[in-house]
Structure 1
């Protein structure tokens, strides 16, 4: 059976905000930004560390060089052991050439400073031990009250290299160097925002460049899904993966278009063949039916074998005639030539006429409320009801019940045909409306043409409805014709 198709009305908008920012574009943008942030933070940290180390090392080198020179010059004029006055003069003399550096001189228990108010606790025990133990210049950076300092200590030795017992320490502030490195950090941090903005712009540009072929592929795919098999995509320049993907898509689309065109041509030929054969069979069938009718009427006057043959010919001719009629009807559906000839009718009366015309009135229970009038094609409704009731009587078990009802909202009208037979096997239910489908593979013949349910479904679809099939909980199958309730002026229900 032919299935209608078209673009889905409930398809999500491919440009919805959640899809844009949660899709590939969003992931590319986030990836670019994360890489930029990590790179910027890493570069900032490395730049800050290297700059800080360079500034401190330059400061340390300058302080050590100047301090050593000043100590060597002042030590030549110092008498050992010194007294407090000479030791103070010694410390002050060294400090005079070192700017704002505070110099502390220690000789055993005697201590002197170039600045009496200076905090001598900035000289740690560890530094004193290092100077005295290793007998060489040592340094240490310390923090006092939030301010950084560089403390350099050196022992004073005699010309022979023997320690004199005099140790000298220089305490220099690192506030200026700290401010310099902080300025560098601030400058780098202030430059992060422009870098991030530039990164976002480049990411958007890159994402647009990368995603343009992908979006075009998506649009072409949706056009293919809607039935436009001629849709192609522009192949980007180059030999990258996107270009290969576009070429592969175009080749696949071309092969698909060719295959579908061939299949459609074959299907059209098959439909024309069925329609032509059915049409050509109608004329000889009419003659055969006329002859078979005459033979059937005279069968009682014929010998038994001839009478049986005459009745068999009559029955098979009638069956063949129904099959040809059904094939002609299906060919009209397939070609789109089937049309509705609608009129306002009483649905209960239409169903009763269908049952009476076929002599089923006494075999079928009905629940047909009066007053349900609708605009339908009465001939096609008659075909649907006749097919459903006929199937229930042939393949189900009596009693067969036909129920007419309208939905509570008044939008739909249903005709339900139920029987009390064994019902349908689960593997049969999906194929009930397939053409020529037989639930029993061993059954090669049936009283009908095998097209009844398919024709019924196509007639329901012409009315904008459908037919549903299910098994009753208490046994038996139930077919439900469901149609939109199109009411004429003054129709009630």
Structure 2
């Protein structure tokens, strides 16, 4: 049976692991709390452990210094007594040196110290091995620090210092930390001053300190781990309800208004869950009321629009009859018949747009997709609005590429959007020209309508698509608009997954841009036509 080999971690995986770790750090409150607490605890516990080890070390060394100096003073006093008692019968320098060094060396082998006896006037730079010094077997005379030797060149006071004690063990030289205590004596045989050095190995103290250090490190590590575990448990108790609240809030945002938090206990988190559930219930009730109100409004608009069709048809027939016979009326009656016909036309358009808006509100609009050339759409719209443009004294021009500008869309709706934009531009052009620009790229196709009329004030570029909104309510409509054209145009653009955007400046005109994806369902990234016209730069 063959088994697939597990892929070993590689250095290339490190950036990915770091990125995942940073993601967890950013998203998880519990992880940040645990890591922060562990780091702070490690610093505090490490500092306390270091202070403890330092105190133990200082105590051990202080005790060893006191014991070493006391033993050095005692042994020196005994050596002086032996020299005093032997001075009347033996004036041989070598013999007196042996009387001092030999007993000390023997007792030192039992009590755990080394002895070195040397003249005090030996220069510091000289090697003690070749100047007639007497020492314990295997002791390296260079274990005596130069600073201590320099001290006893002119002082009789006891002194001590730390050193690196080197002693021959077997066939190799062993180095251990040590304490060296020095005293000064005078030899009766020659009257010269000699320095007696006692060297104490600190093996036991070092072992004790190592044991204390290991215990402190292990205890600190276990304490930090314990603190981390406790922090994790506490953080989980606090964060888990928050995560549940987040999940329920996401479900509520997704439309599942019946979701609620489970309440257990009477603590602050339980009270928070109760308040959250009460808020969710209130929101659900308000949303249901708004949805019901919206359904009532949509149904009212649809019912009214449908019910108005029958009387409108009757009034249209009567209006057409009066309009056809207006030559037989007096001038006032004939003018009234013409105004009646105009308002009936406008009322019929308004009724149709209200029905269209109600279909959008009910979500009952479907696209009839086909390949549409925006150049042809622009040409048809210019032809349809030629009479209105001529009556308003507006020249409509089209700028378009030589190649077809195709998009997959509902041709009827796209043409209606462009017609609304062009009639709106003619209505606000103030007898200046209107320019229609068509362009496209590999992802999108766009058509822009630019006028040089009254323009838009700051903030009105978003409000212009609101239903029945007018920048100047007192302004007369040249084209008989209903106030719903741009709203329907925006809904048509959104239905195609496109953009309908406006730009304008007071007195500098406005530009409306429709951008559609080349293929239905594709997401737009950019538009081939800039929303801010190039000729509007000086007026920015």
TM-score between the two structures when normalised by the length of structure 2: 0.68
CA positional deviation for 1:278: 2.6
Quote the residue 1:150 is aligned against.
179
User: How many residues are treated as equivalent by the alignment?
Assistant: 457
Instruction: State yes or no: 1:426 paired with 2:455.
Output: no
Change in 2 beyond 3 A, CA 1:115/1:95? closer
Q: Deviations over 1:69-103 (max 9, x none)?
A: 65666666663795655575356545644524345
Q: How does 1:117-132 map to 2 (within 5 A)?
A: 123=148, 132=157
1:101 corresponding residue in structure 2: 113
Match of 1:399 in 2: 433
Corresponding residue number in structure 2 for 1:271 = 298
Q: How does 1:178-217 map to 2 (within 5 A)?
A: 179-181=206-208, 183-184=210-211, 187-188=214-215, 191=218, 195=222, 198=225, 202=229, 208-217=236-245
* Partner secondary structure for residue 171 of structure 1: strand
* Cα pair distance change 1:480/1:86, threshold 3 Å: closer
Q: How far does residue 391 in structure 1 lie from its aligned partner after superposition?
A: 0.8
CA gap of 1:73–1:269, structure 2 versus 1, over 3 A, is same
Shift of 1:438: 1.0
2:501 corresponds, among 468, 473, 479, to 468
Matched, 1:171 2:203: no
| C-alpha distance in structure 1 between counterparts of 2:31 and 2:291, whole Å | 42
Contact residue 33 and residue 196 of structure 1 kept, 8 A? no
2: distance between equivalents of 1:221 and 1:288? 54
Alignment of 1:350-369 (within 5 A): 351-357=378-384, 360=387, 363=390, 364-366=396-398
Listed one character per residue, the Cα deviations across residues 17-69 of structure 1 (whole Å, up to 9, x for unaligned) are 43113454553343244234324432442342233234334434544555566
Deviation at 1:266, TM superposition (A): 2.3
User: Are 1:223 and 2:243 counterparts?
Assistant: no
Deviation string, structure 1 residues 98-129 (Cα, Å, up to 9, x no partner): 524345789999x9977597569555566899
The structure 1 residue matched to 2:329, chosen from 276, 285, 302, is 302
Asked if the contact 1:234/1:246 (under 8 Å) is kept, the reply is yes
**Other-structure match for 1:330:** 357
**How many angstroms apart in 1 are the aligned matches of 2:274 and 2:159?**
70
Contact 2:72–2:183 (8 Å) recurs in 1: no
Question: Is the counterpart of residue 386 in structure 1 residue 419 in structure 2?
Answer: yes
CA contact (8 A) 2:427 2:477 kept: no
Query: Displacement, 1:452?
Result: 0.6
CA contact 2:68–2:200 (8 Å) conserved in 1:
no
Relative to structure 1, the CA distance from residue 476 to residue 71 in structure 2 (aligned partners, 3 Å threshold; closer, same or farther) is closer
Q: Is the Cα contact below 8 Å between 1:224 and 1:231 reproduced in 2?
A: yes
CA deviations over 1:132-176 (Å, ceiling 9, x no partner): 5xxxxx6633225775443456899xxxxxxxxx99966132331
Q: What SS does the corresponding residue of 1:394 show, helix, strand or coil?
A: helix
* Equivalent position of 1:239 in the other structure: 267
Instruction: Please list the CA deviations of residues 191-210 of structure 1 after superposition, one character each: whole Å capped at 9, or x if unmatched.
Output: 38964994697366665555
Say if 2:493 and 2:499, in contact at 8 Å, map to a contact too. yes
The answer to whether the Cα contact below 8 Å between 1:141 and 1:148 also exists between their aligned partners in 2 is no
Match of 2:188 in 1: none
Residues 350 and 55 of structure 1: CA distance in aligned 2, closer, same or farther (over 3 Å): closer
Question: Which residue matches 2:170?
Answer: none
Report the counterpart of residue 458 of structure 1 in structure 2. 491
Unpaired runs of 5+ in structure 1?
1-14, 133-137, 157-165, 488-493
Residue 169 of structure 2: aligned partner: none
CA–CA distance in 1 between the matches of 2:476 and 2:106?
A: 123
Please state how far the C-alpha of 1:330 moved relative to its aligned partner. Answer: 0.8
Q: Deviations over 1:331-388 (max 9, x none)?
A: 1111111223445566555554555455549844345768666654343233222211
The structure-2 alpha-carbon separation of the partners of 1:475 and 1:195, relative to structure 1 and needing over 3 Å to count, comes to same
Contact 1:40/1:192, CA 8 A, preserved across alignment: no
Partner of residue 47, structure 2: 42
User: 2:53–2:212: 8 Å Cα contact kept in structure 1?
Assistant: yes
Q: 1:377 aligns with which of 410, 424, 434?
A: 410
Q: Which moved more, 1:195-204 or 1:462-471?
A: 195-204
CA RMSD after TM alignment: 4.6
Measured at CA, do residues 69 and 237 of structure 1 come closer, stay the same or move farther in structure 2, by a change above 3 Å?
Answer: farther
Partner in structure 1 of residue 344 of structure 2: 317
Q: d(CA) in 2 for partners of 1:472 and 1:290?
A: 44
Aligned mates of 1:236, 1:174 — CA distance in 2: 67
Structure 1 residues 74 and 341, CA, compared in 2 at 3 Å: closer, same or farther? closer
Q: Which moved more, 1:15-24 or 1:330-339?
A: 15-24
Distance 1:265 1:197 in 2: 59
Distance 1:259 1:18 in 2: 40
**Cα offsets for 1:256-305 (capped at 9, x unmatched):** 33332222222222222222333333332332333333333333433344
